[in-house]
Structure 1
């Protein structure tokens, strides 16, 4: 299945040569003569003639190979640079570097400072004020505070995406500055569409809920707001209990903002353009659906027992195509409960992720998959109930010949499926194995576009499951395969290595039937045939 390593392009070879000699040649000269000089605004050197894309590619190559030094970074801070990420090298990001970025790279549209905790709030303010073209800004785990977000709200007029996750100094008042400038009495980042604000410092719940509700009303184009208080803020807006939310620091009240959005207490219902919703509890689905009817993606936490509306609310979302369901209760929920949802959304469902469901009926999994022929990604962590008669049965004897499983459990196929992941917790009763094995065999034969396959901790042999797909034209697009902790033999791996396809990553971690001698033989074959394949085993 893996292919031989492709011959690198001339551009790639040149960039690799530059990266290899950067420290010993170009960066050395700069370090010896100019590193501590900050009077000049621009550098005239060997990298000025590189296009923006090549400079960004060189920066990425240096960062991923851990060759990016302070001097090399200075050399590549060029006026025509449009994207810069310091996430791979946060230790290099100090206040002096922040000033250089403002001085030299005013054409930046994307700046990611995630993890750069050494940059002071005043420098972050200078960056927000001095880079007017920013459309995407990453400030996760930095010293961003109310002054920083005030500068962002006032100056970053083209900002579409902002990440302040993990910023412990971001308070509810700081968030409000993104939606409104109380000094200028004008709106803030009206173009903002994505705001990631996870894991902020805990404050008074009411203050944070009101602040999130303020942003939802003040930012008319907001499509994604990732914050744990979002469901409560939606509930607050739905109930219209907005009196008493007047802010003493010059911000308009929630009631004033709601009226500006055309939602009077007895007028039109308030709706928001949110496309993605996280951590919604099952009993709040009705409210969330009423306020966010255009949602395309939702993740829901389910209790031990269904609510009054429960999962039945989800198919009523006309635009819904990506669903994540997690069981937060102690006992889990039956996988069969997801079937009405899958049948209701049908061909519209593109992504389905399940956590903690119990597969009591082995046919519920193929029925679920067959109900969603338009799936592009499926991931499930399932529990299988123990067999109550297991202790009374004699141990099974291995069959003389490997079983031949049915491959017709998915009559319509999954022709758009690109990623499939299944994790099984606990031993699987003997009565469940034929149905689950046939389901997997059918899937592999009926998903011609499959690129990523993960069968994790599967406690029954997978050789016979893989055999039908390897014997036919299936799995020709597979690029990543993980069989970690599953039962697969060395013979099946050799069959994978001998078949045709673009496989690049193979994970055999903790597979009990794969031994060190097998792993060494696989690596030897990869080196001998110069295959573009990484194999993991431990």
Structure 2
């Protein structure tokens, strides 16, 4: 035990919490076994294979090794730990790619990757979840893999060199895929068309839709070459699609009715017909200006109404870069039910009023909201948010905003009920550093930071955040789940309150103190010393 405490004990928090180092959370027997296997992988488990069978000139399609009888879940954990720790090598996969494997994520480099991929096609017929994010893929081999792995349900090909031709193979061979991630790839509308119609595949009748068009419920196309027309093709031809991630989703949905009417007229001229377009099953609605040709095209607030008319079941609203906002532009969102996410980030030149335009949405959806994020909003009132959104888990306020304490004109405060955000897990108050007028009242800060479930606190440029508030929070809620604390330009915070937070028995991993005027380099060195002596797993940064 250390003879002299590095810091004097503050009476506001029990000294008992300071006497012992923070206890590490207990590790399960399974985790200990997996860690031991990974640690001794080459020295014990792969030793015989490395010495007697691992030959650069010979490659084996099948190898009976020490992991043959392990269940899929344990094999997955071993591969995952090897992968995340950067220790995964080709000979490990020679022994771990087994018939019973159901889930595989290979996001780090291994040699002979082409051969490893080919082994999947031969050995892992039961594979249901495949993640190849960020890899350079051998296209011909990859096509053979998808022809062999017909049971796949989840595929992550984000940030790879996958092309429309491979998407066509997936469409014709993988009938059960429910989640397909193609973000940040070169996939185009042609690839989406093959998922809908199979027209690029020689193995499927173009008149029959591939089964994947019925099984897909989630499709990530963010950062691809797919246009709004490709999205419309997916929306019309994939009846169970619930989530499409793409900058132009709002635009595509809003314009779909007009596009469909045009197609119907053309079909009638040629003597044909198209089935009537009914409500879509989408649960997720998105817009932003990433990749948009003209600023304001995809984030036009006037698109909200026609989009909601076609998608009445939306629960996750992520509308960023919204412009052209009229007083009634957001009202269609109040017709939805069971909204869980409400992310509204407006154009900086188009500030909206919290009470006139946001409050009606909170009055309708507050009971079900779990995630609320606002940007460029005037007259924000945290206390009102706390009263209306008691189950909120994530709260974010970004950009240039303003706040007010006066809500009496628009909201009647409940009597004898304190505003609380007891379920809040993440707070991110990231106001523009150039705009210092947005200062949340002390009461609002206490309401936000008083949740015992908080895991992440990020606060920028809030001078009303003081030592007294942080110490009071440490004394009352004790922040037992806090992992990340980041304070930037909070100029009334000193080393005293930071000490109190560090001494709490919580799983704190990251502590960032950036440009806080009252915390000096000497304070930083003392914190470093305290963390080192107590062997706390805290990553500390200061500037």
Instruction: Quote how far apart the aligned CAs of 1:486 are.
Output: 2.7
Partner of 1:41: 61
Written as runs of structure 1 = structure 2, the 5 A alignment for 1:57-206 is: 57-87=77-107, 89-90=108-109, 92=111, 94-117=113-136, 119-168=137-186, 170-182=187-199, 183-184=204-205, 185-188=207-210, 189=212, 190-201=214-225
Partner of 1:378: 395
Structure 2 Cα separation of the partners of residues 245 and 313 of structure 1: 29
Please state whether the residue corresponding to 2:253 is helix, strand or coil.
helix
Instruction: Quote how far apart the aligned CAs of 1:282 are.
Output: 1.2
Query: Could you give the per-residue CA deviations for residues 106-131 of structure 1, whole angstroms, max 9, x where no partner exists?
Result: 111100111112x2322221121111
Structure 1 Cα separation of the partners of residues 120 and 266 of structure 2: 39
Q: Which has the higher contact order (CA 8 A, sep 6+)?
A: 1
Cα RMSD for the two superposed structures: 3.1
| Aligned residue pair count | 488
Higher mean C-alpha deviation, range 144-153 or range 128-137:
144-153
Whether the 8 Å contact between 1:5 and 1:530 is mirrored in structure 2 is no
Partner of 1:395: none
Instruction: Quote how far apart the aligned CAs of 1:478 are.
Output: 3.0
Structure 1 Cα separation of the partners of residues 435 and 248 of structure 2: 39
Structure 2 Cα separation of the partners of residues 314 and 226 of structure 1: 19
User: Normalising by the residue count of structure 1, what TM-score does the alignment of the two structures yield?
Assistant: 0.82
Whether the 8 Å contact between 1:373 and 1:415 is mirrored in structure 2 is yes
Whether the 8 Å contact between 1:137 and 1:162 is mirrored in structure 2 is yes
Query: Could you give the per-residue CA deviations for residues 349-381 of structure 1, whole angstroms, max 9, x where no partner exists?
Result: 221112233x4x4x6333233322221211111
Whether the 8 Å contact between 2:286 and 2:318 is mirrored in structure 1 is yes
User: Normalising by the residue count of structure 2, what TM-score does the alignment of the two structures yield?
Assistant: 0.81
1:524 correspondence with 2:542:
no
Structure 2 Cα separation of the partners of residues 57 and 104 of structure 1: 18
Partner of 2:455: 451
Higher mean C-alpha deviation, range 458-467 or range 341-350:
458-467
Instruction: Quote how far apart the aligned CAs of 1:315 are.
Output: 1.3
1:424 correspondence with 2:431:
yes
Please state whether the residue corresponding to 1:482 is helix, strand or coil.
strand
Please state whether the residue corresponding to 1:74 is helix, strand or coil.
helix
Please state whether the residue corresponding to 1:212 is helix, strand or coil.
helix
Instruction: Quote how far apart the aligned CAs of 1:25 are.
Output: 5.2
1:212 correspondence with 2:231:
yes
Whether the 8 Å contact between 1:438 and 1:465 is mirrored in structure 2 is no
1:437 correspondence with 2:442:
yes
Query: Could you give the per-residue CA deviations for residues 426-455 of structure 1, whole angstroms, max 9, x where no partner exists?
Result: 47768x75x52221013333x333332222
Partner of 2:291: none
Instruction: Quote how far apart the aligned CAs of 1:57 are.
Output: 1.3
Query: Could you give the per-residue CA deviations for residues 145-186 of structure 1, whole angstroms, max 9, x where no partner exists?
Result: 232111111111111100111221x22121111122244232
Q: In structure 2, do the counterparts of structure 1 residues 238 and 304 end up closer, same or farther at CA, with 3 Å as the change threshold?
A: closer
Partner of 1:397: none
Whether the 8 Å contact between 2:197 and 2:208 is mirrored in structure 1 is yes
Partner of 2:5: none
Instruction: Quote how far apart the aligned CAs of 1:98 are.
Output: 1.2
Structure 2 Cα separation of the partners of residues 426 and 171 of structure 1: 39
Whether the 8 Å contact between 1:351 and 1:377 is mirrored in structure 2 is yes
Whether the 8 Å contact between 1:121 and 1:147 is mirrored in structure 2 is no
Please state whether the residue corresponding to 1:215 is helix, strand or coil.
helix
Partner of 1:277: 285
Instruction: Quote how far apart the aligned CAs of 1:227 are.
Output: 2.2
Please state whether the residue corresponding to 2:389 is helix, strand or coil.
coil
Instruction: Quote how far apart the aligned CAs of 1:210 are.
Output: 3.0
Unmatched 5+ stretches in structure 1 = 203-207, 248-252, 264-268, 387-407
Partner of 2:474: 470
Written as runs of structure 1 = structure 2, the 5 A alignment for 1:325-340 is: 325-330=344-349, 332-336=351-355, 337-340=357-360
Partner of 2:294: none
Please state whether the residue corresponding to 2:366 is helix, strand or coil.
helix
Unmatched 5+ stretches in structure 2 = 1-16, 288-298, 404-414
Q: In structure 2, do the counterparts of structure 1 residues 450 and 464 end up closer, same or farther at CA, with 3 Å as the change threshold?
A: same
1:349 correspondence with 2:385:
no
Query: Could you give the per-residue CA deviations for residues 55-96 of structure 1, whole angstroms, max 9, x where no partner exists?
Result: 211112112221112222322212211111111x14547322
The partner residue of 1:322 within 333, 341, 344 is 341
Partner of 1:396: none
Partner of 2:386: 369
Please state whether the residue corresponding to 1:128 is helix, strand or coil.
helix
Q: In structure 2, do the counterparts of structure 1 residues 80 and 151 end up closer, same or farther at CA, with 3 Å as the change threshold?
A: same
Instruction: Quote how far apart the aligned CAs of 1:303 are.
Output: 4.9
Written as runs of structure 1 = structure 2, the 5 A alignment for 1:286-297 is: 286-297=305-316
Whether the 8 Å contact between 2:62 and 2:123 is mirrored in structure 1 is yes
Written as runs of structure 1 = structure 2, the 5 A alignment for 1:303-322 is: 303=322, 306-307=325-326, 309-322=328-341
